[in-house]
A and B are shown apart, each in its own frame.
Chain A
Amino acid sequence: MSENTDIKLVEAPDGISGAGFFATSFEKVIGLARKHSLWPLPFATSCCGIEYMATMGSNYDISRFGSERPSFSPRQADILMVMGTIAKKMGPVVKQVYEQMAEPRWVIAVGACASSGGIFDTYSVLQGIDRVVPVDVYVPGCPPRPEQILDGLMRVQELAENESLRRRNSPEYQALLASYNIK
């Protein structure tokens, strides 16, 4: 029987191992698990959404990163991926979707419009979604290439892996949410 060398396993975190046991911290194991099963909520409004389709499609294949299940229900989603222009009319909807997500939750602003309003510096466009929700990763580009979107996802993976379990309870984090008027 030939050994299949294509399968890659993640490296075990640091810890103490001996005969029949392996001891490490809880935080590291949970971080590892979270990192590889981030379910995105594709909040696609315009052009960048089409590039997300390409990212989801067979050539770029986002499922290689454990995100093959786009969770359209905010309750089960881990990352909110806001892709495309958010008009002022849409702003409250983004906020509501964010509020419905369970902790821990991350936000990626994909594309120039979601990050800063992009070329649409107009009366009707929200100048960046960070005016209504806190953003973890910004992906530049108009629209970003699928590789860039994947890179953004990997940045969130890094955050998820290294995040302290107690971070979401910290007063800093509560203050951040309070500054956005999110409970």
Chain B
Amino acid sequence: MATENKKVELTDLEQFRLDNGLALTEEPQLTTLNLGPTHPATHGIFQNILQMDGEKIVDAVPTIGYIHRAFEKIAERRPFYQITPLTDRMNYCSSPINNMGYHMTVEKLLGITVPKRAQYIRVIMMELARISDHLICNSILGVDSGAFTGFLYVMQEREHIYDIYEEVCGARLTTNMGRIGGMERDLSPKALHLIDEFLKRFPKVWAEFEKMLTRNRIFIDRTTDVGAISAERALSYGFTGPNLRAAGVDYDVRVMNPYSSYEDFEFEIPVGSKGDTYDRFLVRNEEVWQSLKIIEQAYKNLPEGSYHADAPHYYLPPKQEVYRNMEALIYHFKIVMGEIDAPVGEVYHSVEGGNGELGFYLISDGGRTPYRLHFRRPCFIYYQAYTEMIKGGQLADAILTLSSLNVIAGELDA
């Protein structure tokens, strides 16, 4: 029987090996590479031990917990109002959303209804926080793909957002904004003026930033099909927020379970299709425009009225009253000393944080502190998909994927 003599096509590499007397196929030589926990390109402290075949990532083992601060344990030992500063430090890129999400949870437990004006002020602040969060994420994505200019440019704009925060609550980053029952003070004329200025100036800045990256050939080539995740996998991994929307699922807590009067505003939910880095970038970009639209509506239609609920048991009385009025003095003392008992109950409340559904699960046993407070931290939940997203890709792409996921170390490790 004649054997068929097949001509085999050799690649250049195989021909080279044949000519030099090397084995045609070789087991890949894996290199172990330790990325993190203090790698300059990982913004925050994440460690990944990578198995590399050349530049290709074969496997990754993530380690987290390098900034574990035991928020949930602290929360069990603090009176309700002292927990707000902890939420600041969870996702420090968008602290007001964390603060107000927590306040709304406690209000749900206590059965307090917040007046319309306070709700609108909250919306303005939360959307400003969303802008400052997305602005960092997208500009850092630019830095990681080689465009430092955009970062320096929009950082200046973030300072203007911080100016507004400072006028409203006195702090820049860890805002501790508002109180259980509303805002701590009304928007001052200066704050209103700053918001107005911001609304006028920011669209131009953001349009320029977008122009620099969205149609940039290099940027598109670097980010398309990088770190893609399908909608099914994303849902199984518990993705929410911009990362899920980039994969094509239009889940947004602001629309699904409106809180703080979000149902009053007209806005759209941008959705991506492929769930890759470029889609995530575009979704965040568009969300900034939508946030601006919401702020504009809230600013124009800011209702008159009180900026806090009438709940003397839980809301600190004004300082002048404390000096003159016996009742106010007693409430002030009881609240500050943490001697206010909360009703027995169990609530879950979620808000659309910078990175997705930020949930607070609170159990109260009728005492002065929460019995259990569990934070649903979106970063913690979706960071576990990172391994799957970078496998088979290049090392440089892993960095881009990480920055486009916008993982905040404080929220990841709680």
Contacts and interface: CB of A to CB of B under 8 A. Distances in A.
Indicate whether A and B interact. yes
A97 B92 contact: no
B154 to A, nearest CB: 9
B70 A58 contact: no
B156 A120 contact: no
A85 B412 CA distance: 14
A87 B92 CA distance: 17
Contact of B155 (A49, A57, A89, A125): A57
A122 interface: yes
Contacts of A51: 172-173
Contact of A43 (B38, B93, B155, B172): B38
Given A54-B158, A119-B85, A47 B173 contact: yes
Contacts of B410: 46-47
B46 to A, nearest CB: 11
B172 A120 contact: no
A119 to B, nearest CB: 7
Contacts of B65: 87, 89
Interface string B138-154: 00000000000001110
A45 B85 CA distance: 18
Interface in B385-414: 409-410, 413
Contacts of A70: 40
Given A47-B410, A97-B38, A90 B155 contact: no
A119 B158 CA distance: 26
Nearest to A60: B159
Given A50-B92, A58-B152, A87 B69 contact: yes
Interface residues of A, number: 32
A34 to B, nearest CB: 23
A84 interface: yes
Interface in A109-165: 119-120, 122-125, 142-143, 145
Nearest to B65: A89
B67 A87 contact: yes
Contacts, number: 92
Nearest to A119: B85
A93 B38 contact: yes
Nearest to B154: A57
B44 interface: yes
Nearest to A97: B38
A125 B69 CA distance: 6
A54 B159 contact: yes
B200 interface: no
A54 B182 CA distance: 30
A46 B92 contact: yes
Contacts of A58: 152-153, 155-156
A124 B70 contact: yes
B283 interface: no
B209 to A, nearest CB: 14
Contact of A124 (B69, B155, B159, B409): B69
A2 interface: no
Contacts of B37: 90, 93
B159 A85 contact: no
B89 A90 contact: no
A120 B70 CA distance: 8
Contact of B174 (A54, A124, A125, A143): A143
Contacts of B151: 57
B37 to A, nearest CB: 6
Contacts of A90: 37, 45, 66-67
A144 B39 CA distance: 23
Contact of A57 (B74, B88, B152): B152
A91 to B, nearest CB: 10
A45 B174 contact: no
Among the interface residues B92, B93, B152, which one has the most CB atoms of the partner chain A within 10 A?
B92
A145 B172 CA distance: 8
B73 interface: yes
Given A58-B156, A97-B38, A122-B73, A46 B89 contact: yes
Among the interface residues A43, A50, A124, A142, which one has the most CB atoms of the partner chain B within 10 A?
A50
B66 A46 contact: no
B68 A89 contact: yes
A59 B88 CA distance: 23
Interface string B65-107: 1111110011000000000011011001100000000000000
A53 interface: yes
A72 interface: yes
B6 to A, nearest CB: 53
Contacts of B70: 120, 122-125
Given A143-B173, A145-B172, A122 B155 contact: no
Contacts of B173: 47, 50-51, 143
7 contacts: A50-B173, A58-B152, A59-B155, A59-B159, A87-B69, A89-B66, A120-B74
Interface of B: 37-40, 44-45, 65-70, 73-74, 85-86, 88-89, 92-93, 136, 151-153, 155-156, 158-159, 162, 172-174, 409-410, 413
Interface of A: 43-47, 49-51, 53-54, 57-59, 70, 72, 84-87, 89-90, 93, 97, 119-120, 122-125, 142-143, 145
